[in-house]
Amino acid sequence: MTDVLVVLADGRVMGEIRRSRAGRLTFVYDEGWRTSSNAYPLSLSMPLVVAEHEHGRIEPWLWGLLPDNEAILARWGQRFQVSPRNAFALLSVVGEDCAGAIQLVAPDRVPALMEADQGSVAWLSASDIAERLALLRKDQSAWRVARDTGQFSLAGAQPKTALLFDGERWGVPSGRMATTHILKPPIDAFDGHAENEHLCLALARTLGLPAARSQVLRFGDEVAIVVERYDRLRSPTGIRRLHQEDLCQALGLPPTKKYQNEGGPGTTEMLEVIRSHSGEPQEDAWTFARACM
């Protein structure tokens, strides 16, 4: 099992996550990245001015990349023969397509990703997607099928899959190619679940709040809410990953602390992060306040 994960950001080496024999993690910025004019930190909780960050910073951040669902983590642990309680081990097998600009890969995987133009895509038919959605409803850990080469990880408790859409076709990307959309089958226990989520996102945008764009689409006999990823940008050279993190990660907290009544941050702490680090602090603080109302 690898004891180093290389952190790639938009195809460049940002740094390394190193694991000691005792299981302690350290994140070390690549010096070339840290001193470049367009560098940005892995997290606001791990500033560039400090070259090395200890276990208590990097481990909570890694957990923020993984599903908030113990059953999914347990099945992934069985499938990939790693501990479901070890974020480093889990991301060593599913970290190639994460939230934001980050890819987490073993050192021997780096040359292929750095040299590849855009990676590859296994294109899917509507019946292929329907098969995957039906499987997800039965097995919430089946984010990918056995024949897929590209793996991904996203936070949240709801079962989902992530695909690339090129305007006409859907496919499973691998390598440097990024997913562009998240597909979630409805929760059977709640009638109209997909339609309700789509309506709420549309309503938020109508009220002037930033919200992801979504559709409710049918693939064969299966329905899914399809959400356009806000952390992806189409450019003339392809699809770019845009870096992002949630407020727990920015504050150095694990996802188990995301609720205030369970020891997580309140609006005061969140606003302080926004005001301290935003390029447009007043506008962003007001947007945050409106979203809380």
Could you tell me if residue 169 is inside a domain?
Answer: yes
**Higher per-residue confidence, 156 vs 280:** 280
Residues 144 and 180 in one domain: yes
Residues 222 and 163 in one domain: yes
Domain end position, chosen among 86, 115, 144 = 115
pTM of the model: 0.92
pLDDT band with cut points at 50, 70 and 90 for residue 117: low
Looking at every residue in the chain, the average pLDDT score rounds to 92
pLDDT band with cut points at 50, 70 and 90 for residue 118: low
Cα separation, 29 vs 35, whole angstroms:
10
Confidence check: pLDDT of 180 > 70: yes
Could you tell me if residue 199 is inside a domain?
Answer: yes
Residues 166 and 139 in one domain: yes
Could you tell me if residue 129 is inside a domain?
Answer: yes
Domain end position, chosen among 91, 115, 139 = 115
User: What is the pLDDT, as a whole number, of residue 119?
Assistant: 73
Could you tell me if residue 77 is inside a domain?
Answer: yes
126 touches 220 (CB < 8 A): yes
Crossing angle between the packed helical segments 87-94 and 70-80, to the nearest 10 degrees: 70
> What would the two tokens of residue 160 be?
């989902």
12 touches 29 (CB < 8 A): no
* Average pLDDT score over residue span 72-97: 93
Could you tell me if residue 252 is inside a domain?
Answer: no
Name the least confident of 24-28, 90-94, 274-278, 289-293: 289-293
Residues 95 and 28 in one domain: yes
Residues 9 and 100 in one domain: yes
User: What is the pLDDT, as a whole number, of residue 116?
Assistant: 60
Residues 153 and 72 in one domain: no
Task: List, for residues 128-158, the tens digit of each pLDDT value.
Answer: 999 999 999 888 887 787 677 767 888 888 8
Instruction: Name the nearest CA neighbour of 97 among 161, 54, 36.
Output: 161
Confidence check: pLDDT of 1 > 60: no
Cα separation, 247 vs 251, whole angstroms:
6
Could you tell me if residue 251 is inside a domain?
Answer: no
User: What is the pLDDT, as a whole number, of residue 13?
Assistant: 96
Domain end position, chosen among 66, 81, 115 = 115
Overall domain count for the chain: 3
User: What is the pLDDT, as a whole number, of residue 237?
Assistant: 79
- Residue matched to tokens 């089958």: 185
Residues 170 and 144 in one domain: yes
Confidence check: pLDDT of 2 > 70: no
* Average pLDDT score over residue span 50-63: 98
Cα separation, 184 vs 226, whole angstroms:
7
- Residue 185 DSSP label: P
- Supply the range of the domain harboring residue 105: 4-115
Task: List, for residues 197-242, the tens digit of each pLDDT value.
Answer: 999 999 999 999 999 999 999 999 999 999 999 999 988 878 899 9
Cα separation, 280 vs 257, whole angstroms:
27
Could you tell me if residue 282 is inside a domain?
Answer: yes
Domain containing 228 — which CATH number? 3.30.200.120
Residues 12 and 105 in one domain: yes
Cα separation, 149 vs 177, whole angstroms:
12
Cα separation, 198 vs 206, whole angstroms:
12
Residues 234 and 276 in one domain: no
Could you tell me if residue 159 is inside a domain?
Answer: yes
